[in-house]
Amino acid sequence: MLPAAVHPLTALRAGDAVTLTWTTPTKTTDGVLLTGKHGVGTITAKICRDEVSATALAVPTKPAHKAAHPTPAVAAAPAPPPTPCTAVAQLHVEPGTAGTFRDTLPPALTTGSPRPLRYRIRIVTEKGKEGADADVIAPAGAAPPFIQNLTAQATGGGVLLRWQPEHPSDKIMMRVVRGPVEAATKPAFRATPASPAKSTGQQRNTADTVTSTLLTVNESEKDSGGATDNGARTGVEQSYTVYRTRSVTVGKETLVMESEPAHVTVSTNAPLTAPGVPIALEAVANTLSGAPEIDLVWQPSADGVVAGYLVFRAENDGAMAQLTPQPIRSFSYADKAVRPGSRYRYSVAAVNAQGTAGQHSAEAAETIPQP
């Protein structure tokens, strides 16, 4: 009795490694259970890897990762007779369970132009009987560059992500993905890219988590080195993964290679940075509307974490006191509580979403003339 082939077999190339996943069969090719009274005893998964020419791929196999689809490829139907297989690993497996293997490639397979690698897995019984192969193609060659200096900062408008931009000459796409904190440590978790982010609605499912693709930067666009997640949940930690992908053509197949994913975690309860300083504050006396007032106008802070502005005032040589009880969201204010003949000094401070005020602006002064 020969074990049936594993199915489905998938492969994902990321950085210098290929991760294989599969489900171990529960029966033999004759439909007999691998366990129980008529079982075959202990079984192992024999994993083989060989570099083949594109023209040698006579029997089409599904690719490791199609460019048009985010899900890994599914192996082709198992070939009947086993062929010689030099193993890179042999793993003890249990019938009906999910299997995974991360193959760290030798340096010779992580450089140069894209070329096909063929992986085969066959189940071997305790007596050495080998089942049929399941095989899948993954790309060898240089992977896209790793994301450097990835940071995340909670702001009044969401979470600001930044990284070191790259402008490679070949066609590379980027992705930024948001997911639960625990998902960032899962080897199957992969990410999506880089200007203010809007949800695309795409999702990748792992065994017990759901991750949301926030942004994709197409290969024709430039890497801006940042993204803003306006949909981050408050009160919880958020994890983000950013990675680059490259579409490659191997024979007649279009495959995708990913960089190693870069991960970062941020708490949306973390203290926000203080806002920047408002600039160009001006004060102008206005006596044309009947009751006198002093109109203020300023230019906003430039750091993007501002929830509003507080206005402060001092009369003559008195001390500055807060004039607006709550932050205002405009860049102007009319002070109607003024008296002719008095001189008023003003300053403005920006406030973030947690109520922290930044440094006061330079003062502006104005006097209401006597009638």
Whether the per-residue pLDDT at 49 is higher than 80: the answer is yes
Superfamily for domain range 279-367? Immunoglobulins (2.60.40.10)
Residue type, 175: R
CATH for 148-267, among 3.90.550, 1.20.140, 2.60.120, 2.60.40?
Answer: 2.60.40
Is 356 within 8 Å of 272 (Cβ atoms)? yes
What digits encode the pLDDT tens for the residues 204-229?
Answer: 333 333 456 666 666 556 777 888 77
Q: Where are the domains of the chain?
A: 10-140, 148-267, 279-367
What digits encode the pLDDT tens for the residues 80-139?
Answer: 455 677 899 999 999 999 999 999 999 999 999 999 999 999 999 888 888 889 999 999
Q: Report the distance separating Cα 199 and Cα 360, nearest Å.
A: 37
Q: Report the distance separating Cα 347 and Cα 337, nearest Å.
A: 16
CATH architecture assigned to 10-140: Sandwich (2.60)
Of the pLDDT bands very low, low, confident and very high (cuts 50, 70, 90), residue 272 is low
Instruction: Please report the pLDDT score of residue 162 as a whole number.
Output: 87
Of the pLDDT bands very low, low, confident and very high (cuts 50, 70, 90), residue 180 is low
Instruction: Please report the pLDDT score of residue 118 as a whole number.
Output: 93
Is 310 within 8 Å of 349 (Cβ atoms)? yes
Characterize 167-189 residue by residue with b for buried, 16 or more Cβ atoms within 10 angstroms of its Cβ, and e for exposed: eeeeebbbbbbbbbeebbeeebb
Is 130 within 8 Å of 29 (Cβ atoms)? no
Q: Report the distance separating Cα 332 and Cα 348, nearest Å.
A: 10
Whether the per-residue pLDDT at 253 is higher than 50: the answer is yes
Residues with Cβ within 8 Å of residue 345, at least 6 apart in sequence:
313, 314, 320, 363, 364, 365
Beta strands 279-286 and 293-299 are antiparallel
Characterize 296-319 residue by residue with b for buried, 16 or more Cβ atoms within 10 angstroms of its Cβ, and e for exposed: bbbebbebebbbbbbbbbbeeeee
- Fold agreement (10-140, 148-267): yes
What digits encode the pLDDT tens for the residues 306-352?
Answer: 888 999 999 988 899 999 999 998 899 999 999 888 999 999 999 88
The proportion of the chain whose per-residue pLDDT surpasses 70, expressed as a percent, equals 73
Q: What is the pTM of this model?
A: 0.60
From the list 31, 30, 119, 38, the residue with the least C-alpha distance to 75 is 119
Reported as type and span, the H/E element at residue 13 is: strand 10-14
Is 3 within 8 Å of 30 (Cβ atoms)? no
